[in-house]
Amino acid sequence: MRAFDTALLSHVCLLELANGGRVELPAERWAEPPGLGDELLLGRCTGPTLDIGCGPGRLTAELIARGVRTLGIDVSRTAVQLTRDRGGLALRRDVFDRVPGEGRWAHALLADGNVGIGGDPVRLLRRVAELLAPDGRALVELEPPGQHVRRERVRVNGGPWIPWAWLGVDALDEIARAAGFRVVWQGVHGQRHFSELARH
């Protein structure tokens, strides 16, 4: 993850696709305080929250500042340190490995497209279901309407190739059902789209 660590520190994050495409990720936004779009997610976190793929920790730190017990997890050592520097609590952990509080989290955040972690949104959401309490909720950021599910091998700033996925609003119901969830809320701010999922 050294390339991603460098991207976080430089605020320049170029995502290269195996098909030859390139996407500039909003690394500068990740380093800034939470914005109005983020508030749509933050305002729904009323209990213990797991921030999956927390990056530099803007959401983790903000929730802790609001008195919400929150843990950020990320595979990037730099992301974990940046989160701690902001006053957040974070661990270097892969979501598919053992995570503290399994089965007890009230909320799980998959912001900034992190529903794509591992390249299979159904598999990831099934894992999230294991992490949540029975009445817990997953909060997910999605791609705009007009997109379904897209899977690619990607790399950041010339780093190693990893599987990734993009989940569009139009595919959410199908993917959520396959993972044992149902959609209970949807919100939009500008080009950012969000949803809250509850377990069946």
**pTM over 0.75, yes/no:** yes
Examine the pLDDT at 1 and tell me if it is beyond 90.
Answer: no
Taking residue 146's Cβ as centre, other Cβ atoms within 10 Å add up to 8
List Cα–Cα distances, 109 to 27, 59, 61, 158, in angstroms.
18, 9, 13, 27
Place of tokens 């701010």: 189
Domains and CATH numbers, the chain: 2-199 (3.40.50.150)
Candidates 98, 24, 88, 22; CA nearest to 55 is 88
Identify the pLDDT of residue 107. Answer: 98
Tokens representing 98 are: 């053992």
Across the chain, how many H-helices and E-strands are there? 7, 11
Summarised one tens digit per residue, pLDDT across range 177-200 is 999 999 999 999 999 999 999 998
Q: CA 27, 151, 169: angle at the middle one, nearest 5?
A: 75
96-105 pLDDT tens trace: 999 999 999 9
Query: Can you name the residues that pair with 66 across neighbouring β-strands?
Result: none
pLDDT in tens, 79-90: 999 999 999 999
